Amino acid sequence: MRPSPSNSPEAPGERPAPLAAGLGGLCPRCGARTLYAGWLRFEPRCPACGLDISAFNVGDGPAAFLTLILGTAVVVAAVALELSVSPPVWVHLLLWPPLTLAAVFASLRVAKAWLLALEYRNLPPP
C-alpha cells in the first residue's frame, strides 16, 4: 500500500537524515523519538506530528538482508574460532545462538526504521 499524500506535508519538527532516524528510532517527518511502540513494532501514527506510519510497508526487506549479513559474519567468526582455538562443541553451542539472536534484534530495529525513513524520503511529491 502506498502512503497517502497526506503523509508528505512538512511537519513542525526537523526532518532527520534516514540513517539518524534508523539509529534513533525517530519519526522520519518530525524527528521525534516516537517511531516504535515496542522493540520492533511501529506506532500506527506518530503521536507528535500525526504521520501515518502504518501506511508504510518495509516488508521483509530488512530481515532478509540482515539474515545474509549476520549469517555470514557468524559463520566466519565460528570457523575462525574453531580453526584458531578448537574449543569443545558446547562452547559453540553456548556462544553463537544467543549472539546471533542479540545481533538480529539489535540490527533489525535500526534497519526497519532506516528503511522506513528512506521510503518516506522517496515519496513522490504531492
Binding site for Zn ion (CB under 5 A): 27, 29-30, 46, 48-49, 51
Question: Residue 9 CB, nearest distance to Zn ion (Å)?
Answer: 12
Question: Residue 46 CB, nearest distance to Zn ion (Å)?
Answer: 3
Rounded CA separation 51/3 (Å): 10
Residue 109's alpha-carbon distances to 2, 3, 26, in angstroms, are 22, 21, 11
For Zn ion, which is the closer residue by CB, 49 or 66? 49
For Zn ion, which is the closer residue by CB, 21 or 49? 49
Q: E-strand spans in 2-114?
A: none
Question: Residue 58 CB, nearest distance to Zn ion (Å)?
Answer: 17
For Zn ion, which is the closer residue by CB, 47 or 97? 47
Rounded CA separation 59/80 (Å): 33
